Amino acid sequence: MTSDRITRILLLCGLTLVLGPRGIAQQTQPLSTAQGSALVQKNIDLDMKACLQDNKSDACIQAGDLYAKYANDQVAANLLYRKACNLDNATGCNKVAVLYENGIGIPRNNATAADYYSRACKLANKPACAKAQALAPK
């Protein structure tokens, strides 16, 4: 995924991201042909369209999962999960919380993880409620 494409995702999602010293473009990896990159890319494109143009939160999660699994691109996955969360999708909020809690693709931040778990909890994700309480600053 190119830096331009990630920038477009950021703009369409209305999100901001602080870049590390290497920058976004160097944190991404192309899909491997062994993993059926053409098919995966087609699915990503369809999910991205549904997510960004039609505001379908489940499509945002599916696209995020594809980026995380096949492109090993946690930055793009995080952006798409955040978009789903902003569309009031509990799963999206929970996935963002997990990334912050474990420092996957972003700096570890338990307070931010607790906030996202709390949002997931308010959207009826009961397991997230306990995680929010456990990580909340004391």
Give the model's pLDDT for residue 4. Answer: 57
This prediction has a pTM of 0.74
Give the model's pLDDT for residue 12. Answer: 53
Helix, strand, coil shares of the chain, percent, nearest 5, are 70, 0, 30
| Residue range 6-54, pLDDT digits in tens | 555 555 555 444 433 333 333 344 545 554 567 777 888 899 999 999 9
Mean pLDDT of 89-107: 96
Give the model's pLDDT for residue 71. Answer: 82
User: In the predicted model, is pLDDT for residue 75 greater than 70?
Assistant: yes
Tell me how crowded residue 117 is: count the other CB atoms within 10 A of its CB.
Answer: 29
